């Protein structure tokens, strides 16, 4: 009975040592996702493209709003009978403007979402590539960590990989 107890204690100690040595071999890191996203050249390029598209949209929208206001001002100068006749035309133009506005905003949002998804996929691929090369067991997003030390941050390395591959 004593021999069995000694063997069991030995097994437990061996298992504990093996587990702790396996855990000691794990390598962890984290990235600052916001910084990675904002310093990635592809993000900067996309921001410029999207900004240009938004400016074109805003200019078109402002022109359409000015046209509607002009029509509304002209209608206020008409007598009741003429105003009634133009009312249907005004409602049609307002509805067309609203549809245009909603569609353009939806298109811009859809394009932004697709590009963000693409950029996040690039970041994920870069983290995976770097982690496999450097032997990391786990890499976390800094937003989910309550505490982290700067020695575990690999953000700069990931940004370098992303920007070198996007040139």
pLDDT at residue number 57: 92
Q: So what's the architecture of 23-165 in CATH?
A: 2-Layer Sandwich (3.30)
**CA distances in angstroms from 147 to 35, 105, 139, 140, 143, listed in the order given:** 17, 39, 14, 12, 10
| Residue 8 pLDDT greater than 70, yes or no | no
Q: How far apart are the first and last CA of the chain?
A: 70
Q: What is the average pLDDT across 93-104?
A: 91
Contact at 8 Å (CB) between 166 and 43? Answer: no
| C-alpha–C-alpha distance, residues 119 and 36, integer Å | 10
| Residue 131 pLDDT greater than 70, yes or no | yes
Residue closest to 42 by CA, chosen among 116, 147, 143: 116
DSSP class of 153: B
| Residue 49 pLDDT greater than 90, yes or no | yes
Q: What is the pTM of this model?
A: 0.71
Look over the chain and give the mean of its residue pLDDT values, rounded to a whole number: 83
Reported as a pLDDT band with limits 50, 70 and 90, residue 73 is confident
Reported as a pLDDT band with limits 50, 70 and 90, residue 22 is very low
> Which residue's entry shows tokens 């953000």?
155
Lookup: tokens for 8: 């069991």
pLDDT at residue number 46: 94
């Amino acid at each position: 009975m004593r021999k069995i107890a000694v063997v069991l204690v030995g097994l437990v100690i061996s298992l504990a040592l093996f587990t702790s040595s396996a855990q000691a071999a794990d390598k962890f890191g984290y990235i600052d996702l916001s910084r990675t996203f904002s310093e990635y050249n592809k993000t900067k390029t996309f921001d410029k493209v999207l900004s240009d598209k938004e400016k074109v949209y805003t200019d078109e929208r402002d022109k359409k709003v000015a046209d509607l206001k002009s029509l509304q001002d002209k209608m206020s100068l008409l007598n009741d009978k003429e105003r009634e006749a133009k009312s249907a035309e005004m409602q049609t133009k307002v509805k067309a403007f609203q549809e245009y506005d909603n569609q353009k905003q939806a298109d811009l949002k859809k394009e932004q979402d697709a590009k963000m998804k693409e950029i996040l996929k690039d970041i994920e691929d870069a983290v995976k590539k770097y982690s496999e090369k450097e032997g990391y067991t786990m890499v976390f997003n800094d937003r989910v960590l309550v505490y982290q030390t700067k020695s575990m941050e690999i953000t700069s390395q990931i940004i370098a990989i992303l920007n070198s591959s996007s040139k």
